Structure 1
Amino acid sequence: MMDRLSAQIEFLKRADQLKSVERANTLLDQSRQENSAEHSWHLALWALVMAPLADANVRIDRVIRMLLLHDLVEIIVGDHPIHLKTDWKSVERAEQNAAQELFGMLPDDQSDAFLTLWQEFEADSTPDAKFAKCLDRCQPLFQVLNAPEPKPEHLTVVRDNLNGGRAAYLETALPDAFKAAYALFDGQPAPRSEFSDRLPFLAECDQLKSVYRASRLLSGDRFENSAEHSWHIMLFAWVLADCAEFYVDIGRVLRMLLLHDIVEIDAGDHPIHGHVDHAAQAAEEQAAADRLFGLLPNQQRTECLALWLEFEAAESPDAKFAKAVDRFQTPVGNLATGGGSWVDYDVTFAQIESRVGTPITRGAPQLWNWLEPQLKNYFSEKMTT
């Protein structure tokens, strides 16, 4: 079992590199380019929020998983903006090879399943893949159109994309999206629809990409943000689902983790090893949840708030596992980077055992069994240097 777990974790560590793949799009506030990991998180959120617009035969949990995986190959081949002249056949071959290399790091059963799901998305022939592709066409458009001051060159790409480009088929595949895009492009409000009613929430959530955490990327280049962290721990939960202490509905776990840090848009990140007024933090986060999920239509507001509250309470099997994974990711990164945030906050093994070991043990004791010896080794070496 430990060999299987070690292989899974090596894959998850490799996936960290997606946070350093820059895309042509910028954040809504134009402060920097978006990266492919936070884009993947945002697309998964689009899938959850736009689920009521999907055909009855679309399985949203599968769509979310497709979108978590769909850009991983860019770790090897990079991003290829659609408006640049490109040999797409060569890109397709390179991406197929990259998918086999990356998913080949996983145990055989997961390697086959992940590769098959990625290929299904690429083929764009099943109902799940078609809806996922529609969203992948939509998000970059509205990333531009919802910006306070879109860049002229980005608007040109949007225009060309809608007029005969890759997004032109939205006119029949997702007509409300097509109409909303054209209205916003012309400087008009989007026509009222189930689609446009959900855009304010999705636009507001772009801000999570600018909330920075205490943990760093494995490259050490910068601090991680909460959007890409949310993407990464969703991948952790999916890959490590067989480590759950109890039976869990992994689809629900992924939805919890998709939403769990959205409150940080208002409340900020509170490092687990920092000095925090927990009562004040809880009040701030509850107010943030009420405001942010309040941007959604009534039924979705209720559903998302309930999932967030379940995660916070950490009493159900799904929430216990989600919490365990949320505590597990940072130590894996810190061990790979010489201590990371533990050095910044002068953390002791006893603190980690209490603040990290306890929730991991409640939801996924196998993960703590893998982690604990490495933590002891790290802190014993630290004491002798």
Structure 2
Amino acid sequence: MSADRLEQQLAFLTEIDRLKTVERSTQITDGSRVENSAEHSWHLALYALILSPYAAENVDIFLSIRMLLLHDLVEIDVGDHPIDVQTDWAAVAEKELVAAKRIFGLLPNDQAHDLLAIWTEFEAAETPSAKFAKYLDWSQPIFMTLFNPDRPDAHIDVVMNNLETGRASVLRQEFPEVHSYATRLLGWSDTAPEKDFQARIDFLAEMDKLKSVLRATTLCDASRRENSGEHSWHIAMYALILGEHADRPMRMDRVLKMILIHDLVEIDAGDKPIHGDHDTAKMAMIEQAAADRIFGILPTDQRIELRALWEEFEAAESDDAVFAKSIDRVQPVIANLETGGGSWIEYNVSRQQLEDRVGWKVAKGAPALWSYLQGRLRSWFAQNA
């Protein structure tokens, strides 16, 4: 694999870190701030995974997940456009296409072509997989608002208009479970939602709390600490782009599932910085209890499946988990290099400590990636020892 190709891929992954600074109009469910487009993209991908039992048979769930992971990247250049603000949507579409070509154009040609095609399919919303992704994109802000006890009255007005006469009104026919539960939450209906559907939506609302878990790593512009929701989105993108560097045969769809759920336990357990000092046994017990509660919200079949997948990621023994772990470990390294040291300075990290706690895990799953970074690492530690 050429160094130029990897350099292009990492340049793209660093550039899209900027999506974490694009603010939307919807508040996170605790009402403390507005959501950003990166954590929104993670949450939507999780929506697709959790609500997959309600997708039509001809929907490719993992294509929908890919669409949702990358659908808002154009907002890095054009920003978010709330549905309740009068907008020239044709002009926005033209600007978004220009943005898509620029952003995906940072990648090697084959990947740029493939991702632009996925983004274009989502925007057209004509295929079953794109329609399912679009319906989720319309549904998530509705439930975010309805589950937010401190939502502004104006936000409820937007939800009501959207469900009654706006774009989400089509959900009455196309995704009746969503429309029915939303209208019940509004007090428009007395019809109780189907038990498993309600459990899945309740789970997704609870998972919104991951957006408030702060990590040691900062954004690439060093403006603030990264949260675990947007981190999960970013490493899912890392996996998609860097999958060709895996040292073992892995299944990307399973890797993406692992990544989407791998940090959910941090809602209860918090983030434990890799370079911090922790009681490992105590931390494992806390995370197991968190997994019991969090996955326990789901219906039995999904609870068993996703809990087992989380355990597999934690064990890091299967080919899929080894690669997922390597990607999880390498993203903070690149963020620290981009910010002049970041958490390495804060935790007084040595080169040997980085190798002992991070390097071997990256090298185990993607040795070419770790090898490529050696020059930058040698240079940084030589200047900052």
Give the TM-score range, shorter chain: over 0.9
- CA deviation after TM superposition for structure 1 residue 195, in Å: 2.6
Counterpart contact for 2:180–2:193, Cα < 8 Å: no
Correspondences of 1:95-174 after superposition (within 5 Å): 95-174=96-175
Deviation at 1:187, TM superposition (A): 7.6
CA distance in 2, matches of 1:252, 1:313: 15
CA contact (8 A) 2:146 2:186 kept: yes
Q: Deviations over 1:115-171 (max 9, x none)?
A: 000000000000100100010010000000111232201000001101110100000
Q: Residue 261 of structure 1: SS of its match in structure 2?
A: coil
Equivalent of residue 314 in structure 1, options 316, 321, 335: 316
Q: Which residue of 2 aligns with 1:79?
A: 80
Q: Of the candidates 208, 211, 215, which is equivalent to residue 210 of structure 2?
A: 208
- Greater shift, 371-380 or 266-275, is seen at 371-380
Distance 1:190 1:349, change over 3 A: farther
Q: Distance in 2 between matches of 1:190 and 1:2?
A: 58
The answer on whether the counterparts of 1:99 and 1:115 sit within 8 Å (CA) in structure 2 is yes
> Where do 1:221-236 residues align within 5 Å?
221-236=223-238
Residue of structure 1 in register with 2:342 after alignment = 340
Distance in structure 2 (CA, Å) of the matches to 1:349 and 1:190: 60
Deviation by residue 1:91-132 (Cα, 9 ceiling, x = unmatched): 000001100000000001100000000000000000100100
For 1:115 and 1:264, locate their aligned partners in 2 and report how far apart those are by CA, in whole Å.
Answer: 33
Shift of the 178–318 alpha-carbon distance from structure 1 to 2, 3 Å rule, reads same
CA deviation profile, 1:321-372 (whole Å, cap 9, x unmatched): 0000011000101001100000000000000011111101111101110112
How far apart, in 2, do the equivalents of 1:234 and 1:122 lie?
Answer: 21
* Aligned residues of 2:74 and 2:103 also touching (Cα < 8 A): yes
Shift of 1:265: 0.1
Distance 2:111 2:315 in 1: 30
* CA–CA separation in structure 2 for the residues paired with 1:60 and 1:325: 22
1:187 and 1:175 map into 2 onto residues whose CA distance is: 14
Name the CA distance, whole Å, in 2 between partners of 1:291 and 1:187: 31
Secondary structure of the equivalent of 1:213? strand
- The residue that corresponds to 1:323 in the other structure is 325
Aligned residues: 383
C-alpha separation between the residues in 1 aligned to 2:292 and 2:240?
Answer: 28
How far residue 188 of structure 1 moved from its aligned partner, in angstroms, is: 6.9
CA distance in 2, matches of 1:178, 1:299: 24
Report the AA paired with residue 293 of structure 1.
F
Measure, in 2, the Cα distance between the counterparts of 1:274 and 1:323.
18
Aligned position for 2:377: 375
TM-score normalized with structure 1 length? 0.98
Amino acid at match of 1:161: N
1:272 is aligned to 274
Match of residue 358 from structure 1: 360
Is this contact kept in 2: 1:184–1:190, CA < 8 A? no
Contact 1:181–1:190, Cα closer than 8 Å, also in 2:
no
> CA separation in 1, counterparts of 2:7 and 2:291?
36
Q: Deviation at 1:2? A: 1.1
1:28-70: CA deviation from partner (whole Å, max 9, x where unpaired): 1100010000000000000000000001111111111100000
1:189 deviation in Å? Answer: 7.3
Paired residues of 1:190 and 1:196 also in contact (CA < 8 A): no
- The answer (yes or no) to whether the contact 1:58–1:127 under 8 Å persists in 2 is yes
Mark the CA change 1:314 to 1:197 in structure 2 (over 3 Å): closer, same or farther: same
Aligned position for 1:177: 178
Task: Provide the aligned C-alpha RMSD in A.
Answer: 1.0
Write the distance in 2 (CA, Å) between the matches of 1:132 and 1:259.
19
**What is aligned with 1:93?**
94
CA contact (8 A) 2:29 2:148 kept: yes
Instruction: Give the SS at the match of 2:215.
Output: strand
For 1:192 and 1:159, locate their aligned partners in 2 and report how far apart those are by CA, in whole Å: 18
Q: Which runs of 5+ in 1 are unaligned?
A: none
Supply the AA of the counterpart residue of 1:227.
G
Q: Check the 8 A contact 2:26/2:141 in 1, yes or no.
A: yes
Q: Secondary structure at the match of 2:229?
A: helix
Once residues 132 and 326 of structure 1 are traced to their aligned partners in structure 2, the CA distance between those partners, rounded to angstroms, is: 25
Residue of 281, 289, 303 corresponding to 2:291 = 289
The 5 A counterparts of 1:232-251 are: 232-251=234-253
CA pair 285-187 structure 1, distance change in 2 beyond 3 A:
farther
3-state SS of paired residue (1:154):
helix
Which residue of structure 2 aligns with residue 59 of structure 1?
60
One-letter identity of the residue aligned with 1:223 = R
Distance 1:372 1:270 in 2: 25
Partner SS state of residue 23, structure 1: strand
Contact 2:27–2:151 at 8 Å: present in 1 too?
no
The separation in 2 between residues aligned to 1:98 and 1:131, in whole angstroms, is 24
Q: 2:30–2:148: 8 Å Cα contact kept in structure 1?
A: yes
Amino acid across the alignment from 1:332: I
Shift in Å, 1:196: 2.1
Q: Percent identity at matched positions? A: 52
1:176 Cα shift? 1.2
* Shift, 1:190, TM fit: 6.7
